[in-house]
Amino acid sequence: MLADRLRIHTFRGNWFFPWVVQRYLRTSFSGLTVRKACNALRACMEMKTARTSAGSLPFVLRVEPTNVCNLRCPRCSCGIGTDPRPKGYMKLSDFESILDACRNHAILLRLDGNGEPTLHPHIFDMIRIAKSNRLSVSMSTNFSTPACDQAEEFVRSGLDRLVIAIDGNTQESYEKYRVGGKLDVVEQRVRRVVETRARIGKSAPLIEVQFLDWDYNHDEIESVRKKADALGADKFQVIAPDWAVTHAKTNPSKPHRCLWLWCILTVDWDIRYRSCTNAWTLPWPRVSLRDVPPAEFWNHSSMKEARLYNIDKTSGVVAADSGCHCNNCSDMLVVNRPPNYVCE
């Protein structure tokens, strides 16, 4: 069915599982082992069967290199300056400590967060370190920093998947969201990475052009899709951030399982755990990797309470905590998404 294909290839909110699989599977094999695959299957089964205590460990890492950004995107808490956290950059020693603790069970590393990852002064070193620990590495970027001129570094570092934001076919429409960005510069950089990849004789990184579908640019989807093809990108991905405002409604009898609580470990630049990547600016669960190692954290009381709340909303701890995103989550249909939702 055409509608089903569109649903898979356009992310419309609420973490539709087949969409997640189609987006990440192709570039995840470099981090796969039999042991990791078995752990991932167990995690998915524990999520499906609603276990509050996990016998598995997270098979995806989401690590925020920095919460600093060079653009001012109007629907991003970093871009509009509402992120209350101090600005900073993850130390390489802290990054290595995360990988040391997770390399035997993690398959995929998403090396991005609430800021622009290519602003980290050691971003290519971080990619190399992750690859030396046999992880598949994906990174999402606005491709608008000086580091993005280093096409050869993107190819030789071993990066598996490079997601580049292009949300308009003209500078006028592009800069409505990517405030401060230059479309022609981004396009030139994409071409250079494609050319460098071909010259060196590598197939990676897979280059994905990501398009955020807002009302004002909806009619440009096909033209940007053609632009992505012309630039040599391997994939074009549409994300509709506002679809959930008008279409997805809460249904307490059919709660959505949260991938973040069973499958994905999320760590900010100061190696504090986060419940998910929609909660970068919230302190919950108020636990640091410096104090609690990942294997212990995965069955920490705060994680068990979060899973319990996701299963049937009966966790009084989560329900009463105003600093916890889980009780105010529109992605898992706990609450309906408000208009002008700000992305974490």
Task: Give pLDDT, residue 6.
Answer: 39
Alpha-carbon distances of 10 from 119, 213, 277, 330, rounded to whole Å: 28, 9, 19, 18
Contact (CB, 8 A) for 239 and 212: yes
pLDDT exceeds 70 at position 272: yes
89: DSSP letter: B
Structural contact between residues 305 and 319, judged by C-beta atoms closer than 8 angstroms: no
Res 79: pLDDT: 87
Residue, of 321 and 255, whose pLDDT is higher: 321
The per-residue pLDDT for 278 is: 85
At residue 13, does pLDDT exceed 70? no
Give the span between the Cα atoms of 32 and 120, in whole angstroms.
27
The whole-number average pLDDT for the span 281-293 is: 92
Task: Please tell me the predicted confidence (pLDDT) of residue 253.
Answer: 61
Query: Cβ distance 318 to 309 under 8 Å?
Result: yes
**For the chain, how far is it from start to end, CA to CA, in angstroms?**
33
43 near 270, Cβ under 8 Å?
no
pLDDT in tens, 134-177: 999 999 999 999 999 999 999 999 999 999 999 999 999 999 99
Q: How far out from the chain centre does Cα 150 lie?
A: 23
Judge whether 254 and 57 are in contact, CB under 8 Å. no
- 333: pLDDT strictly greater than 70: no
- What domains are defined for the chain? 2-141+242-328 (3.20.20.70)
- Per residue in 95-144, pLDDT (tens digit) is 999 999 999 999 999 999 999 999 999 999 999 999 999 999 999 999 99
pLDDT beyond 90 at 261: yes
Would you call the peptide bond into 255 cis, given omega within 30 degrees of 0 as the criterion?
Answer: no
Alpha-carbon separation of residue 82 from 66, 99, 217, 273 (angstroms): 15, 30, 25, 20
What CA–CA distances, in Å, run from 51 to 166, 265, 317, 320?
A: 39, 17, 18, 22
How much is the mean pLDDT over the chain? 89
Question: Whole-angstrom Cα distance, residue 279 to residue 210?
Answer: 22
Does residue 81 carry a pLDDT above 80?
yes
Instruction: Output the CA torsion 316→60→333→343 (10° steps).
Output: 100
Q: Would you place residue 308 in the very low, low, confident or very high pLDDT band (cuts 50, 70, 90)?
A: very high
Task: Assess whether pLDDT exceeds 60 at residue 232.
Answer: yes
pLDDT in tens, 177-223: 999 999 999 999 999 999 999 999 999 999 999 999 988 999 999 99
Q: Beta partners for 267?
A: 63, 273
pLDDT band at 12 (very low <50, low <70, confident <90, very high): very low
**Closest CA relative to residue 190, chosen from 169, 174, 166:** 166
